[in-house]
């Protein structure tokens, strides 16, 4: 990746064979951790696999960019996210003279001087609007639909999401490409069982872990109820807790109230958003990742847990089976008794943990950011006919 002579000035074209790709720079500082991880790893992997591509960040904070990435300043635009996407982003693409504009997080301009590729991670807003009962959420849904319809091509992260996009927006299959996410072995790797990482004082071992923002669709009440059964089976008030790492989107208090109602008031440990070092420690110290979500476009924590050598107990729903394969335990997301039995089995049987650990590590090796980069590059070349 090459930096222009001065930030904010339009970089000159080099070799005519170089493909110049503009990336929405605001994605690198997205409030959604999964979006930040996706765009940062994608850009780094593209730079590693193809020196015929020049990546340019269109706006966004320079401090959030990968080292060495080119950037152009944001031109004038109305001071809202909508104003940035519809006015500022295409103007920045014109200033940077890019060959393709990639909007990596759902929203994209309705016009652009270059073909637009938009990444749609899932369409839960369109398929299940009941989970988003906010006053202005219809605006978001309309914006997402308009972005999808206007783009030259859509990238998504699973075959499940590709089907959901087609169902939600009636978009032909040839306009949608699946580019599964990856995991970095350097960032997420196992430690020997029993070699516990350093954890915050509010966490006691053993615990099960959930990673991701706390939404209604994440269905975490089933785990709270299941853990009450686990504690009874183990015969100890502090036998197992649920550690939640992620932004609370309005369900945390209800989960704590449920725990209190069923006589396990201390079962829920809310950490809020965590940094990368603590996230890795949480995966490595957990008895299992629990992921009872009713709807996921991919489920990146499932992949990160497998790469960390952590057993995964997850819902047999949406894209989760596509990611987990046969490397973990898949359950009906509403069957509390099954969740109790699965957690007890994993927690109490070393041979089960060993088998799941080995299967998860093998499965995780199938998902690389290099593959994500190469399949995304294929899309860039298709829309630019390179």
- Using alpha carbons only, what angle is made at residue 315 by residues 312 and 316, rounded to the nearest 5 degrees? 110
Token pair of 136 as six digits: 């202005």
**Do 149 and 112 contact (CB within 8 A), yes or no?**
no
164 and 42 inside one domain: yes
**Total number of domains in the chain:** 2
* Domain annotation covers residue 253: yes
Q: Could you tell me if 353 and 217 lie in one domain?
A: yes
**Is the predicted pLDDT of residue 199 greater than 70, yes or no?**
yes
Confidence at residue 35, expressed as pLDDT on a 0 to 100 scale: 95
Q: Residue 92: give the domain boundaries.
A: 19-182+368-384
Q: Are residues 25 and 174 both part of a single domain? A: yes
The answer to whether residue 191 sits within a structural domain is no
Domain co-membership, 168 together with 224: no
Q: Answer whether residue 237 is part of any domain.
A: yes
Q: Judge if 239 and 264 occupy the same domain.
A: yes
Tens of pLDDT along 9-54? 444 444 457 899 999 999 999 998 899 999 999 999 999 998 899 9
Question: Is the domain of 169 the same as that of 213?
Answer: no
Sorted by sequence, the CB contacts under 8 Å of residue 144 that are 6+ apart come out as 106, 107, 120, 123, 125, 126
Residue 13 falls within a domain, yes or no? no
Q: Is it the case that residue 155 has pLDDT exceeding 70?
A: yes
- Reported as a single tens digit per residue, the pLDDT across 264-316 is 889 999 999 999 999 999 999 999 999 999 999 999 999 999 999 999 999 99
Q: Has residue 76 been placed in a domain?
A: yes
Question: Do 31 and 141 lie in a common domain?
Answer: yes
In a domain, 5, yes or no: no
Written in H, E and C, the secondary structure of the chain is CCCCCCCCCCCCCCCCCCEEEEEEHHHHHCCCHHHHHHHHHHHHHHHHHCCCEEEEEECCCHHHCCCCCEEECCCCCCCCHHHHHHHHHHHHHHHHCCCEEEECCCCCCCCCCCCEEEECCCCHHHHCHHHCCCCCHHHHHHHHHHHHHHCCEEEECCHHHHHHHHHHHCCCHHHEEECCCCCCCCCCCCCCCCCCCCCCCCCCCCEEEEECCECHHHCCHHHHHHHHHHHHHHCCCCCCEEEEECCECCCHHHHHHHHHHCCCCCCEEEEECCCHHHHHHHHHHCCEEEECCCCCCCCHHHHHHHHCCCCEEEECCCCHHHHHCCCCEEECCCCHHHHHHHHHHHHHCHHHHHHHHHHHHHHHCCCCHHHHHHHHHHHHHHHHCC
pLDDT in tens, 333-368: 999 999 999 999 999 999 999 999 999 999 999 999
26 and 173 share one domain:
yes
Same domain, 144 and 102: yes
What digits encode the pLDDT tens for the residues 42-94? 999 999 998 899 999 999 999 999 988 999 999 999 999 999 999 999 999 99
Residues 333 and 258 in one domain: yes
In a domain, 153, yes or no: yes
320 vs 297: CA distance, rounded Å: 8
Rg (CA), the chain: 22
pLDDT on residue 238: 59
How far apart (Å, rounded) are the C-alpha atoms in residues 75 and 8? 9
Same domain, residue pair 170 and 232: no
Q: Is residue 193 part of a domain?
A: no
CATH of the domain at 235: 3.40.50.2000
Q: pLDDT value at position 5?
A: 36
Whole-number percent of the chain with pLDDT over 90: 82
Comparing CA positions, the residue from 24, 153, 23, 20 lying closest to residue 99 is 20
- Shared domain for 380 and 358, answered yes or no, is no
């Amino acid at each position: 990746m090459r930096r222009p002579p001065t930030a904010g000035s339009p970089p000159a074209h080099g070799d005519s064979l170089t493909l110049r790709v503009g990336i929405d720079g605001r994605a690198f500082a997205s409030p959604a951790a999964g979006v930040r991880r996706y765009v940062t790893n994608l850009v780094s992997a593209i730079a590693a696999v193809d020196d015929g591509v020049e990546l340019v960040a269109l706006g966004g904070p320079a401090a959030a960019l990968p080292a060495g990435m080119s950037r152009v300043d944001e031109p004038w635009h109305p001071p809202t996210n909508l104003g940035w996407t519809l006015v500022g982003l295409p103007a920045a693409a014109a200033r940077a003279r890019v060959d393709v504009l990639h909007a990596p997080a759902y929203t994209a301009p309705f016009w652009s001087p270059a073909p637009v590729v938009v990444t749609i991670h899932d369409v839960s807003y369109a398929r299940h609007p009941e989970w988003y009962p906010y006053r202005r959420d219809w605006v978001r849904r309309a914006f997402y639909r308009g972005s999808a319809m206007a783009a030259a091509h859509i990238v998504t992260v699973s075959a499940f999401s590709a089907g959901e996009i087609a169902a939600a927006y009636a978009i032909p299959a040839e306009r949608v490409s699946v580019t599964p996410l990856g995991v970095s072995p350097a960032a997420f790797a196992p430690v020997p069982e029993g070699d516990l990482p350093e954890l915050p004082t509010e966490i006691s071992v053993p615990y099960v872990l959930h990673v991701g923002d706390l939404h209604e669709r994440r269905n975490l009440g089933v785990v709270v109820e299941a853990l009450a059964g686990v504690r009874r089976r183990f015969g100890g008030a502090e036998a197992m807790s649920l550690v939640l790492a992620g932004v609370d989107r309005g369900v945390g208090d209800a989960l704590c109230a449920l725990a209190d109602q069923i006589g396990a008031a201390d079962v829920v440990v809310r950490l809020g958003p965590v940094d990368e070092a603590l996230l890795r420690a949480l995966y490595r110290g957990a008895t299992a990742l629990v992921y009872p979500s009713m709807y996921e476009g991919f489920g990146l924590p499932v992949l990160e847990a497998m790469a960390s050598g952590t057993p995964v107990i997850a819902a047999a729903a949406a894209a989760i089976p596509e990611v987990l394969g046969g490397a973990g335990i898949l359950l009906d997301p509403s069957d509390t008794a099954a969740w109790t039995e699965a957690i007890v089995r994993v927690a109490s049987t070393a041979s089960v943990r060993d088998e799941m650990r080995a299967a998860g590590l093998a499965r995780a090796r199938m998902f690389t950011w290099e593959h994500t980069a190469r399949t995304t590059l294929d899309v860039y070349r298709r829309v630019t006919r390179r």
